[in-house]
Amino acid sequence: MRTLLAALAVIALSSGAQAYCFPIPDTVATGYVDNQMHRTLCIQRKMSQAADARKLATEFDAALGRVQRDLQQQKVMLQQQQSQLDALYWR
């Protein structure tokens, strides 16, 4: 379940990050730097989106861990209550 949630988060956030950074034509007027600047900014956006996806996956993982821990605690409490009821019933 944890892996599924993490995978969904990564897919949702990284779909734009997987887009190809198309080159743009450089010209003498721009000093032939537009393409590299465009590519650098595109890669920076991809890295930012990937980091956001990892952060979201980590948050999902932590939330799922808390839910699983709470569920386990509830099971233990239910077993204890059932044992107490059984003890009262069989007196």
HEC secondary structure over the chain: CHHHHHHHHHHHHHCCCCCCCCCCCCCCCCCCCHHHHHHHHHHHHHHHHHHHHHHHHHHHHHHHHHHHHHHHHHHHHHHHHHHHHHHHHCC
- Token readout for 82 is 């059932």
Report the distance separating Cα 29 and Cα 37, nearest Å: 15
pTM of the model: 0.56
Instruction: Quote the domain boundaries for residue 9.
Output: 2-89
What does each of the 91 residues of the chain score in pLDDT, given as a tens digit?
Answer: 556 655 655 565 555 544 578 777 877 887 777 888 888 999 999 999 999 999 999 999 999 999 999 999 999 999 999 999 988 888 6
- In the chain, the number of structural domains is 1
pLDDT for res 25: 80
